[in-house]
């Protein structure tokens, strides 16, 4: 019996890429044959996957398709289902195109295409997994019937490796250190984090610092944030460091006093989980899947007004939030999520 995974983009340091690799290990350990097939395979993963159009082994197999972006692979998967192959989907969320319309219209179009493709596959997916109840609800809206929540597979032990010491030593120790981790994209609303930070710095802590980690999905949005920082006279208290290595990311986490997330659209939000695992208090905007992931282990704000957020950071009980976060992260341990994943796949195969 084979369970082969298909995904449009297979990239290192990517939540879906890591999830796919872990899923393959779980499936193989459980005695299934399993390989990965992708449309775009980024270095150094060339040896881990093959292009999806290459001949796949025949016989009794299930296609597990990871959906998150627009891809020609969607039509290919549909064609396979029409020919009688069994298809499972694993939905990792698609950002609504409207967020990108102003900044990168071509991305907005791609996002809308992805949603259309997701809807197209609904009648052909015999079973569908979703990273969160929020994602599952989206699937059901699009006509998916046989669905189940199956959290993302994240190896939290990876976050306890040694951070980049040289970087950690270089980071200033004075003042409250705010951190946000995530692609620079309009739905992540880094501008709201910058605004709240500016107010916090002005009212409570002139030595506070904000680090934004993550490569830019939208260069124009990134430019707008840089301009905003200039307008608000933040100087070098704001650092946009782009993509970083795993060790560098751990250094930023180690230095962080609070993780502030103002994102308006998340299907799960892995950085919230990272923060909880590492005991960094979370202050987040109450939106989409964030409250579900956080489950009370952080401060949720319903209002993104910069003064409200700054006050929430100022008033938070750091020790209590840190402890609550660590406890909540246990729920997402790889042991728990692996078990749930395998049970979900096997419930379908049975």
Partner 1 sequence: MANDLYSPDDLYVAKVRLSLSRLGVPGPDLEGALGGLRAAARFDVDVPTASPRREVQLVKTGVKRVSGWYLRYLADQLSGFGGALVNWADALAAKTQILQGEVDEVAVRLQALETRVARLEAGRQPGGDEREDAAQ
- Which of 99, 134, 144, 332 binds partner 1 (CB under 8 A)? It is 99
Choose the binding region for partner 1 from 27-35, 193-201, 294-302, 321-329 (rule: CB under 8 A). Answer: 193-201
In whole angstroms, how close is the CB of 304 to partner 1 at the nearest point?
A: 8
**Given 195, 214, 281, 298, the residue binding partner 1 (CB under 8 A):** 195
Size of the site for partner 1 (CB under 8 A): 23
Residue from 15, 156, 198, 249 in contact with partner 1 (CB under 8 A): 198
Tokens linked to 215: 């490569």
**What are φ and ψ of residue 303, in 5° steps?**
-125, 130
Measured CA distances, 270 to 63, 132, 220, 227, 266 (Å): 25, 11, 24, 28, 9
Helix (H) or strand (E) holding 216: none
Nearer to partner 1, 6 or 99 (CB): 99
182 binds partner 1 (CB under 8 A): no
* Residue 327 is a binding residue for partner 1 (CB under 8 A): no
Query: Does the footprint of partner 1 cover residue 192 (CB under 8 A)?
Result: yes
- Give the residue with the Cβ less far from partner 1, 231 or 343: 231
- 78: which residues sit within 8 A by CB, 6+ positions away? 120, 121, 124
CB 220, min distance to partner 1, A? 8
Residue 165's closest CA among 288, 40, 250? 250
Q: Which residues 293-322 are close enough to bind partner 1 by CB under 8 A?
A: 305-307, 311
Q: Does 202 contact partner 1 by CB under 8 A?
A: yes
The C-alpha R_g of the chain, in whole angstroms, comes to: 21
- For 302, counting Cβ atoms within 10 Å of its Cβ (0-12 exposed, 13-18 middle, 19+ buried), the class is exposed
205 contacts partner 1 (rule: CB under 8 A): no
d(CA 8, CA 15): 14
CB 47 within 8 A of CB 17: no
Q: Contact with partner 1 (CB under 8 A): which of 40, 115, 140, 191?
A: 191
**Closest CB 210 distance from partner 1, rounded Å:** 13
Q: Tell me: does residue 199 bind partner 1 (CB under 8 A).
A: yes
Asked if 190 and 225 count as a contact pair (C-beta separation under 8 A), the reply is: yes
Q: Based on the shown chain and the rule CB under 8 A, indicate whether residue 259 belongs to the binding site for partner 1.
A: no
> Residue 247 Cβ, how far from partner 1 at the closest point, in Å?
32
Which three-class secondary structure state does DSSP give residue 350? coil
Q: In what order do the strands lie in the sheet with 299-301?
A: 238-242, 209-213, 177-181, 258-261, 282-285, 299-301
CA separation for the pair 162, 310 (Å, rounded): 31
CA distance 164 to 8: 32
End-to-end CA distance of the chain: 12
**Residue 307 beta carbon to partner 1: minimum distance, rounded to whole angstroms:** 6
| Residue whose C-alpha is closest to residue 167's, from 257, 255, 256 | 255
The correct pick among 264, 292, 318, 340 for binding partner 1 (CB under 8 A) is: 264
Instruction: Return the range that interacts with partner 1 (CB under 8 A); candidates 11-19, 96-104, 237-245, 273-281.
Output: 96-104
272, 288 Cβ separation under 8 angstroms: no
Residue 145 C-beta: closest distance to partner 1, Å: 32
* Phi, psi angles (nearest 5°) of residue 61: -150, 160
Q: Which stretch binds partner 1 (CB under 8 A): 26-34, 94-102, 113-121, 170-178?
A: 94-102
When the beta carbons of 98 and 339 are compared against partner 1, the nearer one is: 98
Binding mask 207-226 for partner 1 (x = CB under 8 A): -------------x---x--
Q: Which of 231, 303, 317, 343 binds partner 1 (CB under 8 A)?
A: 231
| Contacting positions for partner 1 (CB under 8 A) | 98-99, 101-103, 186, 191-192, 195, 198-199, 202-203, 220, 224, 228, 231-232, 264, 305-307, 311
């Amino acid at each position: 019996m084979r369970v082969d995974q298909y995904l449009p983009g297979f990239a290192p340091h990517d939540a879906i890429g890591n999830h796919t690799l872990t899923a393959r290990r779980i499936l193989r350990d459980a005695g299934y044959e399993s390989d990965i097939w992708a449309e775009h395979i980024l270095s150094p993963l060339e040896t881990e996957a093959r292009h999806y159009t290459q001949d796949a082994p025949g016989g009794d197999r299930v296609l597990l398709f990871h959906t998150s972006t627009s891809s020609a692979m969607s039509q290919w998967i549909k064609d396979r289902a029409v020919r009688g192959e069994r298809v499972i989907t694993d939905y990792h969320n698609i950002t609504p195109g409207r967020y990108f319309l102003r900044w990168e219209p071509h991305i907005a179009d791609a996002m809308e295409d992805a949603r259309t493709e997701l809807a197209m596959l609904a009648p052909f997916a015999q079973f569908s997994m979703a990273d969160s109840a929020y994602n599952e609800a989206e699937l059901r809206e699009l006509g998916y019937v046989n669905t189940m929540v199956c959290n993302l597979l994240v190896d939290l032990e990876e976050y306890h490796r040694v951070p980049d010491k040289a970087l950690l030593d270089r980071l200033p120790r004075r003042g409250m250190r705010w951190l946000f981790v995530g692609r620079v994209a309009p739905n992540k609303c880094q501008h709201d984090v910058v605004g709240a930070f500016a107010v916090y710095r002005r009212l409570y802590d002139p030595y506070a610092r904000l680090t934004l980690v993550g490569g830019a999905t939208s260069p124009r949005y990134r430019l707008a944030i840089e301009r905003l920082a200039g307008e608000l006279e933040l100087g070098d208290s704001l650092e946009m460091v782009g993509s970083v290595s795993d060790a560098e990311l751990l250094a930023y986490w180690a230095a962080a006093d609070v993780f502030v997330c103002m994102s308006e659209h998340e299907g799960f939000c892995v950085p919230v989980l990272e923060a909880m695992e590492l005991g960094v208090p979370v202050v987040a905007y109450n939106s989409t899947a964030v409250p579900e992931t956080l489950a009370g282990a952080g401060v949720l704000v319903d209002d993104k007004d910069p003064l409200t957020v700054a006050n929430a950071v100022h008033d938070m009980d750091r020790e209590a939030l840190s402890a609550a976060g660590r406890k909540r992260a246990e729920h997402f341990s790889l042991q728990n999520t692996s078990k749930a994943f395998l049970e979900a796949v096997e419930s379908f195969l049975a």
